[in-house]
Structure 1
Amino acid sequence: MRFRALAEEITRFFGEEGTLSLRLPRHEFRPEQLTMAHAVAEAANGKKILMLEAGTGVGKSLAYLVPLILKAVAEEKRVFVATGTKTLQHQLMEKELPFLKRHLGVDFNFTLCLGAENYLCERRLAAVPTTGQEELFADLAEVANIRTWAEGSRGGLRSEIEFPVSNATWHQVCRVSELCAGQDCGRGGECFYQKARRRQTYAQVLVANHHLLFANLMADWEYLPECQILVIDEAHTLDSTASDCLGIEFSYRALRRVFEGLRGKDGKGCLVGSLIELPIEQRLGLLDRIRHAEQRFLETLVWLHDKVLAGEQRVAVSRETAALGLEHFIEPLSEVVAGLKQILKRIEREETRVECEGYVQRLQRTLAEAKQVAEMPEDAPWLLWCEELAQRGRGLAETSASTAFHATPIEPAEILKEKLYPRFESTILVSATLSTGGDFRFVADRLGTHGAETLSLPSPFDTKNNLMVYLPAHVPEPARFEEYTAEVNREVIELVQAASGGTFVLCTSYKVLNALHDLFRNSVPCEEYGARKRFERHRKSSRLLVMRQGDASRERMLEAFRSAGRAVLFGAATFWQGVDVPGRDLEMVIITRLPFQSPDDPVLEAKIRLCRERGGDPFNDIQVPHAVMQFRQGLGRLIRSKSDRGVVAILDSRVNTKGYGRAFLNALPECRQTDKLEEAREFLRGVWSDK
């Protein structure tokens, strides 16, 4: 599609009297949205990488979808949209894309792409007995419910199930890539997953999360159709997701289902026990090898837990220590793989052979990763570390299940630059926070996008009149924990009592979160969102509802928060970003502490060390810019629509007393500022009085 024709179509849609204004009730023309759409079209047409920062209210999703859909339809291309949160996925799939399908004027298809284990595998479901062998399966009653549900299910997705299903049960019947027979399955490619794959083939827009993007990348784009244009929305989280997904993990949670599938319980109801083609002696011998390899794997994790972690939450591991631990199970696991390969030739049943091949592939991948890490040179830009996942139990399995060993790329930017961006003709990276003070260099370093086009567009909302930022100077520094939490609690109480709507209290650690929650709950008459009310719908009432992260899922907590009328939610990282509560349900955000990363994070420590070795200043080059980005995300929770008004309170006095505080103050939008509590309370009392 010629660029001039595309530009005309964009203007026709987004212009002051365009399709969007005519078709979307109460829509007001936003010049920033039109500018963004033209920039996206230019980048796609010029096959460029574009880093695009657009403030809240610009209408980012429509601004990149419209030009890219028009181009994809005209030129028979496909667009991959990767999001960081389910909230944005739902918005795209339930609102933006259906709206565009009705009103854009071109015929296109779109679909949501999910990981394989979200789908029911009918072959594996059929293999679970209806009665008997209860000790080998998680819950046969749940399996029976799944069978009934599957008969009427359209998509076969776990998210469609409206009755309780445990993870253990679902993992016995879901699709597992290594265990899938593909087109050779007896269902002839008509299973839920294969139907989804066909829908993807006919779609011009694929929507998925960042994790599936990287899983597909590491599998050489095996799982999804080829796409020519990549959109990475919520791109400010991409580097941390990349580190997680491109790294390697050794844990019992990662291999437990493989071992259980191979050995079952007492050699029954499992792969090896079902191999009636083999003499009993050979089966028992293979079972012994499997149990021995599993034991050695568990011993490695227990050794890491007891001797390396030694009571710490997370610890960096030397190359020598890593090699010593991994080599403990490499040989016995290799013997299991060799044994399984040997019996593959004698397995007569197709489904059993497919299952055996799947286990072989999974164990081979584990072995390849273990050898890669064990042989990794000292100067490789990878961090080796282990962490405590849960409280230690009493036995070997419980202790090992609480330990994970990781190999994490310190600079995923190099991998993104070499493997991700070259796969696409053009890449659009979008977020409300991609720069610090208008400078994109920090994010470009993290994402490998130096040389990309950049554009920053402000929010069209009137923050000058609708937002007040309260900056008290008297709050003790966070290092004086008892004094700090006591004073922050007093400030929170004063501010909440002045507010008529909801409040987010954003914390940077669970220690602070729990301390402030408990202090507030014991100081103010309130209704607690506890276990008894966890799944009840809270109706609007005059009583103040108090909640804290962890009381329930984020979705349930937000539903209760919106329904309560007046609520205070104490949240940590989950609630700093990806949360949308417009209107008076949220009229105040309290930032209790500047969001610096935990100094004992091994990944951060490795980045700091590498920065120093290169002659940089880690605090100003890494820690401050990262904290400013997170700070801006927290600020963005409040003003979500043109009519929103409210107060952001920053209860960390370092923003005023430290030199680096200027970086945070410069990140504030144009707004009213005060250091007087009474002015903040007065603003809150008048927030909706003139509405």
Structure 2
Amino acid sequence: MTDANLTAMFGAEGPLAACLTGFRPRPEQLTMAQNVAEALVEGHSLVVEAGTGTGKTLAYLLPALDSGLRIVISTGTKTLQDQLFHRDLPMIGKAVGRPVDAQLLKGRSNYLCLYRLNQLTSAADESSTPSRGADIELLRQWAERTLTGDTAEVSELPENSPLWPRVTSTVDNCLGSRCPLFDDCHVVAARHAAREAEMVVVNHHLLMADLAMKEEGFGQLLPGADALIIDEAHRFPDVAQGFFTIGFGTGQVLDLAGDVRSELVRGGAFDRPLEQALDELRKAAADARLTLSDGVANLPWDATRDDFKSAFDTLGASLDGVSSELAAIEDSSPGLQRCRQRAGAMFAAFEAIVSARDDQGLRWIRLARRTFTANVTPLDTAEELGALLESRPAAWVFTSATLAVRDNFQHFISRIGLQDVRTRQIPSPFPFADIARLYLPRGLPQPNDPEFTDRAVAEMRAAVIASGGHAFLLFTSHRALRRAAEILSDDSDFDFPLLVQGTEPRTRLLEQFAGQPRAVLLGTATFWEGIDIRGHDLVLVAIDRLPFASPGDPLLAARLEAIRSQGGNPFRDYQLPQAVLSLKQGVGRLIRDYDDYGVVMICDPRLTEKSYGRVFMSSLPPMPVVRDLDMIREFYVAHGVTES
């Protein structure tokens, strides 16, 4: 598509304006589209930060569709993935006058597994309660009529229903071509359709699985792609790191034990030695978890006691015992054969963790309430990731609203490992000087002061009263969130509807926030990004501290030490840029459209008192800074939010 054609497409009289309600020409959007088109034609790598309101989705979709290339688009969240496929692509097709040959492809856990559904319905105890029996019947009926097997079709069953893991597959338990229902497999059908499509919409986890060839038979998607567009690219490095991590935990072990038991029941078999080995495995898993502390946390391996390491060894030995018993009977069914393979792969991961040297990565434990996972994670995956990306002869386009620190992309580029990359920073088209203010209250103590949270919440309370509610109060720790909720809920004069993270599912809280006038929502990291609330519903975003990652996290501590040992500056090279990008995400919740307005409030005095505060300030949208609450009141009065 030529520049002239792009200009016409994004113009006031163009097809986008004709079919998209509220469309307005934006020079920034056109600039991004031109940069993406150039990258696709020339086959080079591009990293482009597009400020909020640029319209980056259309800015890459139109050039991608016009290029005639086979395109893979990857998103950081399933929400954006669904939006792209179900809303944006049909609208683009309408604008260009032809349907888009696109396929939506999700991870296998998002598709019904007919084999596992049959296992569930043939087990003896599934209808133990009326509600469980009704849910299983709901799944049976849906299975008969669905064409895709996409679990998102079943809105009646919550995402966290314990039935979903029972009727979907994982890489571990999928039987592959040995499955008796392979010809009817929804995952196979979805992947076949994706390989034939002009454009495929995936997410980062699925993309990395394909890059790393971690799913048998799925490494055929990317070799045929001419270009890959990575949206929500700020999430990509962390997702990638997870794919280079070796993990082994009690959740996997218990799933394996349950699947072996289901296979035995399905085949009408009873194998006493195997049953005894499974009992020992379950006991070893429970005993190992009991040696660790309660709660949810990440722990360094070296911080665990000797009794854990002994129990962990026993767990590995018990797993090896199950594997040996499975080897004796695995030929009796494909399911047991797959369980034997899973047990072998788990034991290999166990051995890799136990024998890992310090120079191979960090060993650490992720604690959940009833389970744990032991891991070994490389501290720097950039070289491996870069090699994977460059092994694919395709154009790579990375885009997000938060990739640069000031005007520098080096932090992001160094994490993805690409060597030859062009960058472009495109500012937001919104007139921040007119519609937004950055409120930095005076007189607050340093964040390490015991009184900081109480004092910050008092300042937030005053700002909420000035705004008339319609506020997000964002915190960098659950402890601060709980304290804020306690203070505000105990305040009889604070008569705003209070919504607190953890009391309801995230989606339900957002629905309540949008539906209740004057609502105030308290949240932590999960509410810092991926939320799009427009207009008068949200006019205040208050943040307690600069979002530096917790120094107690073992992965972070090890990464910082590695930077230091290589002669780098851990704060300058990693902690500061990561915090800047996180703050940009939080601030980005406020202004989402031209008609929006409001105040960003940051309570951390380091923003003005520390030299590095300038790095944060110069990375944020150009909002006028105010220090006095009266000026905030005047701003809200001027916009008709509250009366003078």
Normalised by the length of structure 2, the TM-score is 0.91
* Equivalent pair of 2:113/2:168 in contact (CA under 8 Å): yes
Between the aligned partners of 1:312 and 1:146, the Cα distance in structure 2 is 32
Residue 310 of structure 1 deviates from its aligned partner by 9.0
Matches within 5 A, 1:12-161: 12-71=8-67, 74-75=68-69, 77=70, 79-129=71-121, 132-134=124-126, 139-161=132-154
Structure 1: distance between partners of 2:196 and 2:466: 54
**For residues 182 and 568 of structure 1, do their structure 2 counterparts lie closer, same or farther at Cα, with a shift above 3 Å needed?**
same
Answer whether contact 2:284 2:311 (CA < 8 A) is retained.
no
Identify which of 541, 553, 558 aligns with 1:589: 541
**Which segment drifts farther, 225-234 or 62-71?**
225-234
What is the deviation of 1:553?
Answer: 1.9
Question: Is the Cα contact below 8 Å between 1:576 and 1:633 reproduced in 2?
Answer: yes
State the alpha-carbon separation in 2 of the partners of residues 619 and 182 from structure 1: 47
**Counterpart residue number, 2:463:** 495
Structure 1 residue identity aligned to 2:112: L
Deviation at residue 16 of structure 1 after TM alignment? 4.6
Query: Mind listing any 5+ residue stretches in structure 1 that lack a counterpart?
Result: 265-269, 348-352, 391-400, 527-542
2:506 aligned partner: 554
Question: Aligned pair 1:194/2:188, yes or no?
Answer: yes
Aligned to 2:490: 522
Question: For the structure 1 residues 274 and 15, does the alpha-carbon distance in structure 2 shift closer, same or farther, using more than 3 Å as the test?
Answer: closer
Distance in 1 between the 2:182 and 2:245 partners? 35
What secondary structure does 2:363 align onto?
Answer: strand
| Distance of 2:410 and 2:558 partners within structure 1 | 20
Q: How does 1:80-479 map to 2 (within 5 A)?
A: 80-129=72-121, 132-134=124-126, 139-164=132-157, 167-182=161-176, 185-187=179-181, 189-219=183-213, 222-223=217-218, 225-226=221-222, 227-262=225-260, 264=261, 270-273=262-265, 275=267, 283-303=271-291, 305=292, 313-318=297-302, 327-345=313-331, 347=332, 353-380=333-360, 382-390=361-369, 401-479=370-448
TM-score, reference length from structure 1: 0.85
1:621 and 1:183 map into 2 onto residues whose CA distance is: 47
1:576 aligns with 2:523: no
> How many Å separate the matches in 2 of 1:324 and 1:177?
29
**Corresponding position: 1:10 with 2:6:** yes
- Mean Cα displacement is larger for which, 310-319 or 627-636? 310-319
1:675 to 622, 627, 642: 627
One-letter amino acid of the counterpart of residue 194, structure 2: Q
Q: CA RMSD in A?
A: 2.8
Contact 2:319 2:343 in 1 (8 A): yes
After superposition, the Cα gap between the structure-2 partners of 1:225 and 1:512, relative to the gap in structure 1 and judged at 3 Å, is: same
Equivalent pair of 1:410/1:607 in contact (CA under 8 Å):
yes
Q: Give yes or no for contact 1:6–1:70 (8 Å, CA) kept in 2.
A: no
1:396 — aligned with what? Answer: none
CA contact (8 A) 1:230 1:424 kept: no
Moved beyond 6 Å, runs of 4+ = 135-138, 319-325
Please state how far the C-alpha of 1:24 moved relative to its aligned partner: 2.1
Q: CA deviation at 1:486?
A: 2.6
SS at match of 1:379: helix
CA contact 1:214–1:246 (8 Å) conserved in 2: no
- 2:19–2:91 CA contact under 8 A, matched in 1: no
Taking a change above 3 Å as real, the CA distance of residues 680 and 500 of structure 1, as seen in their structure-2 partners, is same
8 Å contact from structure 1 (residues 108, 203) kept in 2? no
SS at match of 2:240: helix
How many pairs align? 634
SS of the equivalent of 2:183 reads: coil
Cα distance between partner residues in 1 of 2:195 and 2:266: 37
Which secondary structure does the structure 1 equivalent of 2:359 belong to?
coil
Deviation at 1:28, TM superposition (A): 1.4
Give the percent of matched residue pairs that are identical in Structure 1 and Structure 2.
Answer: 32
CA drift of 1:181 comes to 4.6
Which range moves more in the overlay, 465-474 or 113-122? Answer: 113-122
Deviations 1:345-376 (A, max 9, x none): 3x2xxxxx221122122222212222222332
Q: Which moved more, 1:600-609 or 1:658-667?
A: 658-667
Q: Take 1:665 and 1:288, find their aligned partners in 2: how far apart are those partners?
A: 63
Distance 1:196 1:656, change over 3 A: same
8 A contact 2:173–2:342 mirrored in 1: no
Sort the Cα spacing of 1:584 and 1:148 in 2 relative to 1 into closer, same or farther, 3 A.
same
- Once the two structures are TM-superposed, the CA of residue 50 in structure 1 deviates from its matched residue by 0.9
Question: Deviations along 1:391-430, whole A, 9 cap, x unmatched?
Answer: xxxxxxxxxx343322222112222112234225111111
Partners of 1:179 and 1:354 within 8 A in 2: no
| 1:273-295 C-alpha deviation (Å, 9 max, x unpaired) | 5556x7x6xx2122223333444
Cα distance in 1, alignment partners of residues 322 and 181 from structure 2? 31
In 2, Cα distance between equivalents of 1:629 and 1:573: 13
Determine if contact 1:47/1:426 at 8 Å carries over to the other structure. yes
- The AA in structure 1 aligned to 2:379 is I
- The equivalent of 1:652 in structure 2 is 604
Tell whether the 8 Å contact from 2:109 to 2:169 is kept in structure 1 after alignment: yes
Identify unmatched segments of 5+ residues in structure 2: none
Distance, in Å, in 2 between the alignment partners of 1:225 and 1:664 is 40
